Amino acid sequence: MYKDLSDKCVQNVKDDSFDCIFTLGGDGTQKSARDLSLKGINVIGVPKTIDNDVACTDITFGYNTAVSVAAEAIDRLHTTGETHHRIMVLEVMGRYAGWIALESAIAGGGDVALIPEIPYDINKAAEKIQQRVQKGKRFSVVVVAEGAAPKDGTMSIESTRDNGKGVDNTKLGGAGIRVAKELEALTGLEARNTTLGYMQRGGTPTAFDRVLSTKYGAKAMELALEGKFGVLAVLKDGKLDSVSLEDVVGDNKEIGAVSGNTEESNIRRVTMDHDLVKTARSIGICLGD
């Protein structure tokens, strides 16, 4: 049974005389941090999520590790695809943002990358693959973000949960399978999908993420010692800074409101003028548009 116990949480924190609560997580976690700050708790946020979708910061820790895992998976799929003349589809995480799919496709030499920010035309992806066949390359690697959706279509949803109004109850899944089936029908090549899933979320972090998380932790402690609460430690243009949790939350002001994929949510998505998009287009990766 879902029940709001935030007031009990606040009282426990006060009873135990905590000076500050550090919240490590993504947009949902930082939304809760903002809500707790409104209830009188000293809170400082640290952006941690593989999705890289926290607003107001350039990068979250966990993201680089996830991209590295996805890029290695592409390397491994490349071998089978080339040997067996197949389309190898890799579905990666990211929720409603395409950072993992886009950067891993660039790093791993993907031929097509489908992301939530660009509703795709499957025929464009098929054309890219057929162009490769005409050049004697009878295989292709397609990276699909779990939140990718076709033009005039919707995201692939595995199920809708009922875990309460304070969380995102949409469970994404099936985007890679759908793309693989459609590309097989359009190109005549066999297509195989691999859903990387939770393999992206665990294991040994990269050195980059270890350093980044340490930098964020040091900044968060600095903010605490200065008495600056209700903020998120961020990295902007290569420099550590902080922003108000109100700015991170954006228009999602209601306490306990749903986080992620709502009109009020303030998550960081891939923009069309971002260097990753420009780079992908420059090296010939098809983005489905």
Catalytic residues: 51
Cβ-contact 120, 288 below 8 angstroms: yes
Short-list 247, 243, 246, 110, CA closest to 176: 110
User: Distances from the Cα of 124 to the Cαs of 120, 247, 286, in angstroms?
Assistant: 8, 38, 8
Q: Which amino acid is at 151?
A: K
Spatial contact of 117 and 286, defined as CB atoms under 8 Å apart: no
| C-alpha separations of 26 from 108, 216, 266, 273 in Å | 26, 14, 11, 24
Residue 240: enclosing H or E segment and its boundaries?
A: strand 239-244
Residue type for position 288: G
